[in-house]
Amino acid sequence: MEEYIADLQEQLITAQHRFMKMHRDLCFTGLRKSEFVMLEIIERENGNREQGVLASDIAKRLRITAPAVSKMLRSMEEKGYVERRVDEKDRRNTRVSITPDGKEAEQQVRRQMQEFITGVIERLGEERTKELIHLMNRYTEIMQEENQNRKRKKQEEKHEADL
């Protein structure tokens, strides 16, 4: 039985690594992945507001430092994808808005992604795609639960060691 589990472990780890590598290597023309994600956040957070999104809010959403966001925004501003301006209400803050060129670039990559995923769904089939979605969601839930259990166990062990 242990050999069977070890074999499944190896297969699962290999499949997961292949998936992550493929995800990293996906190529859509027009934007780097980080630029696409940032444009999505700006678009989503800004909604219909005219004032733009706070750069600090972008940093929080991306879970990166303000200087890292500033560097990315500078690059994207040079490409004409975003505009930055000082917040009129609080001059310490920077507001960011997506430009028409930025919207077009984001939409172009989104269309490419949709075409890619459509091709995958067509090849896999509707039923298997639904099954895959279900299994991936369940897999993620179980991994999160296992991770929480490990964290809790580690905290308990640390607490016992401190006694």
Q: Is 39 inside any structural domain?
A: yes
Cβ atoms of 95 and 50 within 8 Å: the answer is: no
- Nearest in space to 107 (alpha carbons), one of 34, 32, 27, 36: 36
pTM > 0.75: yes or no: no
**Amino acid of residue 115:** E
Structural domain of 57 = 30-124
Q: Is 141 in the same domain as 157?
A: yes
Asked if 40 and 117 sit in the same domain, the reply is: yes
Tell me, what's the pLDDT at 48? 54
Length of the chain: 163
How many domains does the structure of the chain reveal? 2
Q: Provide the pLDDT for residue 49.
A: 60
- In this structure, are 119 and 50 located in the same domain? yes
Per-residue pLDDT of the chain in tens (163 residues, 90 and over written 9): 688 899 999 999 999 999 999 888 887 877 888 899 999 999 888 765 667 898 999 999 999 999 999 999 999 999 999 999 998 888 888 999 999 999 999 999 999 999 999 999 999 999 999 999 999 999 999 999 999 999 999 999 988 888 7
Confirm whether 82 is domain-assigned: yes
Round the average pLDDT of the chain to a whole number and report it: 91
What pLDDT was estimated at residue 33? 86
| Edge-first strand listing for the sheet containing 82-86 | 53-54, 94-98, 82-86
